[in-house]
Amino acid sequence: MSVTIGTIGTLLSDFLSKKAYTQIVILVDQNTKKHCLPKVDLIMPAPKVIEIKAGEKHKNIETCQKIWQAMTNLNLDRHALMINLGGGVIGDMGGFCAATYKRGIDFIQIPTTLLSQVDASVGGKLGIDFNGLKNHIGVFTLPNAVLVDSQFLQTLPSLELRSGFAEIVKHCLIKDQAKWKTIKILDLEEQNLPDLIAHSIEIKKAIVAEDFTEQGPRKTLNFGHTMGHAVETFFLENKSKKLLHGEAVAAGMIMESYIGYKKGMFAEESLNEIEEFIFAVYGRIKIDKADFNAIIALSLHDKKNKGKVVRASILDKIGSCQYDIPISKVEMKKALEYYVGG
Protein backbone atom coordinates (compact mmCIF):
# COMPACT_ATOMS: atom_id res chain seq x y z
CA MET A 1 0.00 0.00 0.00
CA SER A 2 1.23 3.45 -0.76
CA VAL A 3 0.27 6.82 0.59
CA THR A 4 0.91 9.52 -1.99
CA ILE A 5 0.52 13.25 -1.48
CA GLY A 6 -0.13 15.68 -4.30
CA THR A 7 -2.88 16.95 -6.58
CA ILE A 8 -5.87 14.63 -6.71
CA GLY A 9 -6.21 14.73 -10.52
CA THR A 10 -2.69 13.48 -11.08
CA LEU A 11 -2.72 11.01 -8.19
CA LEU A 12 -5.97 9.39 -9.31
CA SER A 13 -5.10 9.20 -13.01
CA ASP A 14 -1.76 7.60 -12.11
CA PHE A 15 -3.47 5.00 -9.94
CA LEU A 16 -6.18 4.18 -12.48
CA SER A 17 -3.66 3.84 -15.31
CA LYS A 18 -2.02 0.88 -13.56
CA LYS A 19 -4.91 -1.58 -13.46
CA ALA A 20 -8.12 -2.16 -15.39
CA TYR A 21 -11.21 -2.50 -13.22
CA THR A 22 -14.55 -3.93 -14.36
CA GLN A 23 -16.38 -1.15 -12.51
CA ILE A 24 -15.52 1.79 -10.29
CA VAL A 25 -17.84 3.08 -7.60
CA ILE A 26 -17.33 6.13 -5.39
CA LEU A 27 -18.70 6.27 -1.84
CA VAL A 28 -19.58 9.76 -0.61
CA ASP A 29 -21.72 11.45 2.01
CA GLN A 30 -23.83 14.49 1.19
CA ASN A 31 -21.02 16.90 2.09
CA THR A 32 -18.26 15.20 0.14
CA LYS A 33 -20.67 14.74 -2.77
CA LYS A 34 -21.10 18.49 -2.87
CA HIS A 35 -17.56 19.65 -2.10
CA CYS A 36 -15.20 16.84 -3.13
CA LEU A 37 -16.86 14.81 -5.89
CA PRO A 38 -16.63 17.67 -8.43
CA LYS A 39 -12.83 17.58 -8.04
CA VAL A 40 -12.79 13.88 -8.86
CA ASP A 41 -15.48 14.06 -11.57
CA LEU A 42 -13.03 15.84 -13.82
CA ILE A 43 -10.89 12.71 -14.02
CA MET A 44 -13.78 10.26 -14.05
CA PRO A 45 -16.80 11.76 -15.80
CA ALA A 46 -20.18 10.37 -14.66
CA PRO A 47 -18.88 7.90 -12.08
CA LYS A 48 -21.18 5.49 -10.25
CA VAL A 49 -21.83 6.98 -6.85
CA ILE A 50 -23.15 5.54 -3.59
CA GLU A 51 -24.27 8.27 -1.19
CA ILE A 52 -24.81 7.87 2.53
CA LYS A 53 -25.76 10.30 5.28
CA ALA A 54 -22.86 12.18 6.86
CA GLY A 55 -21.84 11.72 10.46
CA GLU A 56 -20.54 9.28 13.06
CA LYS A 57 -24.08 8.28 14.03
CA HIS A 58 -24.45 6.61 10.65
CA LYS A 59 -21.23 4.60 11.02
CA ASN A 60 -23.15 1.44 11.79
CA ILE A 61 -24.33 -1.89 10.46
CA GLU A 62 -27.57 -0.44 9.02
CA THR A 63 -25.57 1.88 6.76
CA CYS A 64 -23.28 -1.02 5.81
CA GLN A 65 -26.33 -2.97 4.72
CA LYS A 66 -27.33 -0.08 2.47
CA ILE A 67 -23.83 0.10 0.99
CA TRP A 68 -23.62 -3.68 0.40
CA GLN A 69 -27.10 -3.56 -1.16
CA ALA A 70 -26.09 -0.69 -3.47
CA MET A 71 -22.93 -2.60 -4.46
CA THR A 72 -25.07 -5.66 -5.17
CA ASN A 73 -27.57 -3.61 -7.21
CA LEU A 74 -24.67 -2.30 -9.29
CA ASN A 75 -23.58 -5.91 -9.90
CA LEU A 76 -20.05 -5.19 -8.70
CA ASP A 77 -17.87 -8.24 -9.22
CA ARG A 78 -14.59 -9.08 -7.48
CA HIS A 79 -12.62 -7.01 -10.00
CA ALA A 80 -14.40 -3.78 -9.17
CA LEU A 81 -12.84 -0.82 -7.37
CA MET A 82 -14.40 1.19 -4.56
CA ILE A 83 -13.17 4.74 -3.96
CA ASN A 84 -13.91 6.10 -0.49
CA LEU A 85 -14.12 9.86 -0.86
CA GLY A 86 -14.62 11.49 2.51
CA GLY A 87 -13.55 11.67 6.12
CA GLY A 88 -12.79 8.90 8.57
CA VAL A 89 -16.39 7.70 8.66
CA ILE A 90 -16.48 7.11 4.90
CA GLY A 91 -12.97 5.62 4.94
CA ASP A 92 -13.53 3.25 7.88
CA MET A 93 -17.00 2.11 6.83
CA GLY A 94 -16.46 2.12 3.05
CA GLY A 95 -13.21 0.22 3.52
CA PHE A 96 -14.97 -2.29 5.79
CA CYS A 97 -17.74 -2.80 3.23
CA ALA A 98 -15.22 -3.23 0.40
CA ALA A 99 -13.01 -5.57 2.45
CA THR A 100 -15.97 -7.85 3.19
CA TYR A 101 -18.03 -7.61 -0.05
CA LYS A 102 -17.52 -10.96 -1.86
CA ARG A 103 -14.64 -11.54 0.60
CA GLY A 104 -12.96 -8.34 -0.46
CA ILE A 105 -12.55 -6.10 -3.50
CA ASP A 106 -9.92 -3.44 -4.20
CA PHE A 107 -10.51 -0.07 -2.58
CA ILE A 108 -8.67 3.21 -2.27
CA GLN A 109 -8.98 5.98 0.29
CA ILE A 110 -9.20 9.64 -0.70
CA PRO A 111 -9.35 11.30 2.72
CA THR A 112 -10.96 14.73 2.68
CA THR A 113 -10.75 15.80 6.33
CA LEU A 114 -7.57 16.66 8.18
CA LEU A 115 -8.23 13.85 10.65
CA SER A 116 -8.58 11.23 7.96
CA GLN A 117 -5.53 12.52 6.05
CA VAL A 118 -3.17 12.37 9.02
CA ASP A 119 -4.61 9.37 10.83
CA ALA A 120 -7.57 7.29 9.62
CA SER A 121 -6.20 6.67 6.14
CA VAL A 122 -2.92 5.13 7.32
CA GLY A 123 -2.69 1.74 9.00
CA GLY A 124 -5.48 -0.41 7.63
CA LYS A 125 -7.98 -0.19 10.49
CA LEU A 126 -11.52 -0.41 9.16
CA GLY A 127 -14.82 -0.75 10.92
CA ILE A 128 -18.00 0.57 12.41
CA ASP A 129 -19.53 1.47 15.76
CA PHE A 130 -21.84 -1.07 17.40
CA ASN A 131 -24.48 -0.38 20.06
CA GLY A 132 -22.70 2.81 21.05
CA LEU A 133 -19.24 1.22 21.23
CA LYS A 134 -16.72 2.97 19.00
CA ASN A 135 -15.12 0.90 16.22
CA HIS A 136 -16.32 -2.24 17.97
CA ILE A 137 -16.67 -4.32 14.80
CA GLY A 138 -13.96 -4.21 12.17
CA VAL A 139 -10.94 -5.67 10.39
CA PHE A 140 -7.36 -4.80 9.52
CA THR A 141 -7.14 -4.54 5.73
CA LEU A 142 -4.87 -2.24 3.76
CA PRO A 143 -6.33 -0.18 0.92
CA ASN A 144 -4.72 -0.44 -2.52
CA ALA A 145 -3.74 3.22 -2.26
CA VAL A 146 -4.26 6.34 -0.20
CA LEU A 147 -4.32 9.58 -2.18
CA VAL A 148 -3.89 12.74 -0.11
CA ASP A 149 -4.57 16.24 -1.41
CA SER A 150 -4.68 19.10 1.12
CA GLN A 151 -6.81 21.15 -1.32
CA PHE A 152 -9.87 19.25 -0.04
CA LEU A 153 -9.45 21.00 3.32
CA GLN A 154 -10.48 24.36 1.82
CA THR A 155 -14.17 23.49 2.28
CA LEU A 156 -13.78 21.74 5.64
CA PRO A 157 -15.56 23.46 8.59
CA SER A 158 -13.03 25.01 10.98
CA LEU A 159 -14.11 22.82 13.91
CA GLU A 160 -13.39 19.72 11.84
CA LEU A 161 -9.97 21.12 10.96
CA ARG A 162 -9.24 21.72 14.63
CA SER A 163 -10.38 18.18 15.44
CA GLY A 164 -7.92 16.67 12.96
CA PHE A 165 -5.14 18.85 14.28
CA ALA A 166 -5.29 16.91 17.59
CA GLU A 167 -3.82 13.86 15.84
CA ILE A 168 -0.98 16.01 14.49
CA VAL A 169 -0.31 17.21 18.06
CA LYS A 170 -0.40 13.57 19.20
CA HIS A 171 2.13 12.48 16.58
CA CYS A 172 4.52 15.23 17.69
CA LEU A 173 4.08 14.41 21.37
CA ILE A 174 4.74 10.68 21.00
CA LYS A 175 7.54 10.83 18.46
CA ASP A 176 9.01 14.21 17.61
CA GLN A 177 9.98 16.70 20.28
CA ALA A 178 11.55 19.11 17.76
CA LYS A 179 8.32 19.33 15.75
CA TRP A 180 6.35 19.86 18.96
CA LYS A 181 8.55 22.88 19.65
CA THR A 182 7.66 24.34 16.27
CA ILE A 183 3.88 23.83 16.58
CA LYS A 184 3.41 24.82 20.23
CA ILE A 185 4.35 28.46 19.57
CA LEU A 186 1.79 28.93 16.77
CA ASP A 187 -1.97 29.33 16.63
CA LEU A 188 -3.87 26.79 14.57
CA GLU A 189 -4.36 29.31 11.75
CA GLU A 190 -0.60 29.86 11.53
CA GLN A 191 0.40 26.20 11.22
CA ASN A 192 1.92 24.92 7.98
CA LEU A 193 -0.66 22.21 7.31
CA PRO A 194 0.73 20.64 4.11
CA ASP A 195 4.06 20.18 5.90
CA LEU A 196 2.39 18.80 9.05
CA ILE A 197 0.21 16.40 7.04
CA ALA A 198 3.28 14.89 5.38
CA HIS A 199 5.07 14.77 8.74
CA SER A 200 2.17 13.02 10.49
CA ILE A 201 1.76 10.47 7.70
CA GLU A 202 5.48 9.65 7.89
CA ILE A 203 5.32 9.14 11.65
CA LYS A 204 2.21 6.98 11.52
CA LYS A 205 3.53 4.94 8.57
CA ALA A 206 6.81 4.26 10.36
CA ILE A 207 5.09 3.15 13.57
CA VAL A 208 2.58 0.96 11.71
CA ALA A 209 5.36 -0.61 9.60
CA GLU A 210 7.08 -1.67 12.80
CA ASP A 211 3.96 -3.26 14.31
CA PHE A 212 0.98 -3.68 11.96
CA THR A 213 -1.20 -5.78 14.27
CA GLU A 214 -0.68 -3.54 17.30
CA GLN A 215 1.10 -5.99 19.57
CA GLY A 216 3.62 -3.36 20.71
CA PRO A 217 4.80 0.09 19.60
CA ARG A 218 1.70 0.82 17.50
CA LYS A 219 -0.14 1.17 20.78
CA THR A 220 1.67 4.50 21.31
CA LEU A 221 -0.66 5.94 18.66
CA ASN A 222 -3.42 5.49 21.20
CA PHE A 223 -1.96 8.19 23.43
CA GLY A 224 -4.87 10.37 24.58
CA HIS A 225 -7.35 7.84 23.25
CA THR A 226 -8.06 5.68 26.33
CA MET A 227 -9.71 8.52 28.21
CA GLY A 228 -10.49 10.44 25.01
CA HIS A 229 -12.52 7.56 23.54
CA ALA A 230 -14.39 7.10 26.81
CA VAL A 231 -15.32 10.80 26.89
CA GLU A 232 -16.23 10.72 23.19
CA THR A 233 -18.45 7.65 23.60
CA PHE A 234 -20.10 9.12 26.67
CA PHE A 235 -21.04 12.28 24.77
CA LEU A 236 -22.19 10.25 21.76
CA GLU A 237 -24.60 8.27 23.93
CA ASN A 238 -25.71 10.81 26.48
CA LYS A 239 -25.28 14.38 25.39
CA SER A 240 -27.02 16.53 22.87
CA LYS A 241 -23.79 18.49 22.44
CA LYS A 242 -21.68 17.04 19.65
CA LEU A 243 -18.10 16.28 20.60
CA LEU A 244 -15.63 15.75 17.77
CA HIS A 245 -13.07 12.94 17.92
CA GLY A 246 -10.08 15.27 18.07
CA GLU A 247 -11.64 17.44 20.77
CA ALA A 248 -12.07 14.35 22.94
CA VAL A 249 -8.54 13.15 22.16
CA ALA A 250 -7.12 16.59 23.02
CA ALA A 251 -8.82 16.33 26.42
CA GLY A 252 -7.60 12.73 26.74
CA MET A 253 -4.00 13.84 26.09
CA ILE A 254 -4.18 16.22 29.05
CA MET A 255 -5.75 13.54 31.29
CA GLU A 256 -3.24 10.85 30.33
CA SER A 257 -0.31 13.27 30.67
CA TYR A 258 -1.58 14.02 34.16
CA ILE A 259 -1.74 10.29 34.96
CA GLY A 260 1.88 9.98 33.75
CA TYR A 261 2.87 12.89 35.95
CA LYS A 262 1.11 11.39 39.00
CA LYS A 263 2.84 8.07 38.39
CA GLY A 264 6.17 9.90 38.46
CA MET A 265 6.85 9.02 34.80
CA PHE A 266 6.44 12.47 33.28
CA ALA A 267 7.74 15.93 34.24
CA GLU A 268 5.36 18.53 35.61
CA GLU A 269 6.71 21.26 33.32
CA SER A 270 5.97 19.08 30.27
CA LEU A 271 2.43 18.49 31.54
CA ASN A 272 2.01 22.27 31.91
CA GLU A 273 3.32 22.87 28.37
CA ILE A 274 0.85 20.39 26.88
CA GLU A 275 -2.03 21.64 28.93
CA GLU A 276 -1.39 25.28 28.09
CA PHE A 277 -1.28 24.58 24.36
CA ILE A 278 -4.32 22.28 24.29
CA PHE A 279 -6.51 24.54 26.41
CA ALA A 280 -5.52 27.51 24.20
CA VAL A 281 -6.51 25.68 21.00
CA TYR A 282 -9.48 23.63 22.24
CA GLY A 283 -10.75 25.24 25.43
CA ARG A 284 -12.04 22.99 28.20
CA ILE A 285 -14.90 20.56 27.64
CA LYS A 286 -17.55 20.78 30.33
CA ILE A 287 -17.81 17.38 32.01
CA ASP A 288 -20.05 16.95 35.05
CA LYS A 289 -18.55 15.24 38.11
CA ALA A 290 -21.69 13.09 38.24
CA ASP A 291 -20.67 11.55 34.89
CA PHE A 292 -17.12 10.53 35.85
CA ASN A 293 -18.05 6.96 36.82
CA ALA A 294 -19.94 6.38 33.59
CA ILE A 295 -16.94 7.63 31.59
CA ILE A 296 -14.55 5.42 33.56
CA ALA A 297 -16.86 2.42 33.02
CA LEU A 298 -16.70 3.05 29.26
CA SER A 299 -12.89 2.90 29.31
CA LEU A 300 -13.20 -0.78 30.31
CA HIS A 301 -14.42 -1.55 26.79
CA ASP A 302 -11.23 -0.15 25.32
CA LYS A 303 -9.70 -2.58 22.81
CA LYS A 304 -6.25 -1.97 24.28
CA ASN A 305 -7.18 -3.61 27.60
CA LYS A 306 -6.30 -7.09 28.71
CA GLY A 307 -9.07 -8.59 30.80
CA LYS A 308 -10.44 -6.04 33.21
CA VAL A 309 -7.27 -3.97 33.56
CA VAL A 310 -7.29 -0.70 31.63
CA ARG A 311 -4.01 -0.12 29.83
CA ALA A 312 -2.98 3.18 28.33
CA SER A 313 -0.11 4.72 26.41
CA ILE A 314 1.66 7.25 28.59
CA LEU A 315 4.39 9.76 27.67
CA ASP A 316 7.66 9.42 29.57
CA LYS A 317 8.87 12.64 27.97
CA ILE A 318 7.77 14.79 25.07
CA GLY A 319 8.62 12.82 21.91
CA SER A 320 8.58 9.43 23.65
CA CYS A 321 5.69 7.20 24.70
CA GLN A 322 5.37 3.94 26.62
CA TYR A 323 2.50 1.50 26.17
CA ASP A 324 0.57 -1.13 28.13
CA ILE A 325 0.73 0.95 31.29
CA PRO A 326 -2.03 -0.18 33.67
CA ILE A 327 -4.11 2.69 34.96
CA SER A 328 -6.58 2.44 37.81
CA LYS A 329 -10.09 3.80 38.21
CA VAL A 330 -8.80 6.10 40.92
CA GLU A 331 -6.13 7.52 38.59
CA MET A 332 -8.73 8.07 35.88
CA LYS A 333 -11.04 9.82 38.31
CA LYS A 334 -8.23 12.08 39.53
CA ALA A 335 -7.34 12.87 35.91
CA LEU A 336 -10.94 13.82 35.15
CA GLU A 337 -11.01 16.02 38.25
CA TYR A 338 -7.74 17.66 37.21
CA TYR A 339 -9.04 18.26 33.69
CA VAL A 340 -12.27 19.92 34.78
CA GLY A 341 -10.29 22.07 37.19
CA GLY A 342 -11.46 20.40 40.39
60 binds ligand NAD (CB under 6 A): no
Q: Which CB, 52 or 70, lies closer to ligand NAD? A: 52
The span of 67-75, 89-97, 188-196, 263-271 binding ligand NAD (CB under 6 A) equals 89-97
Count of CB atoms situated within 10 Å of the CB of 37: 18
For residue 234, which of 275, 284, 288, 283 has the smallest C-alpha distance?
288
The CA-to-CA distance between both ends of the chain, in Å, stands at 47
According to DSSP, the residues that pair with 325 across neighbouring strands are: 312
Cα dihedral across residues 118, 124, 127, 129: positive or negative: negative
Q: Between 247 and 286, how does the x/- string for binding to ligand NAD read (CB under 6 A)? A: ----------------------------------------
Which of 59, 162, 171, 219 touches ligand NAD (CB under 6 A)? 59
Among the residue ranges 72-80, 83-91, 253-261, 266-274, the one whose residues contact ligand NAD (CB under 6 A): 83-91
Q: Which residue is nearest to ligand NAD, using beta carbons?
A: 88
Give yes or no for a contact between 152 and 86, defined as CB atoms under 8 angstroms apart: no
Distance CA 204, CA 171 (A): 7
152 sits near ligand NAD (criterion: CB under 6 A) = yes
**Alpha carbons 173 and 175: distance in angstroms, whole number:** 6
Counting residues that bind ligand NAD (by CB under 6 A) gives 31
Torsion angle defined by CA atoms of residues 53, 116, 31 and 140, in that order, rounded to the nearest 10 degrees: -30
The C-alpha atoms of residue 4 and residue 264 are separated, in whole angstroms, by 41
Residue 225 Cβ vs ligand NAD, minimum distance, rounded to whole Å: 9
Candidate segments 60-68, 113-121, 261-269, 288-296, binder of ligand NAD by CB under 6 A: 113-121
Residues 177-196 touching ligand NAD, rule: CB under 6 A, are none
| Binding positions for ligand NAD, rule: CB under 6 A | 29, 31-32, 35-36, 54-56, 59, 86-90, 92, 112-113, 115-116, 119-120, 123, 125, 134-135, 152, 155-156, 160, 163, 245
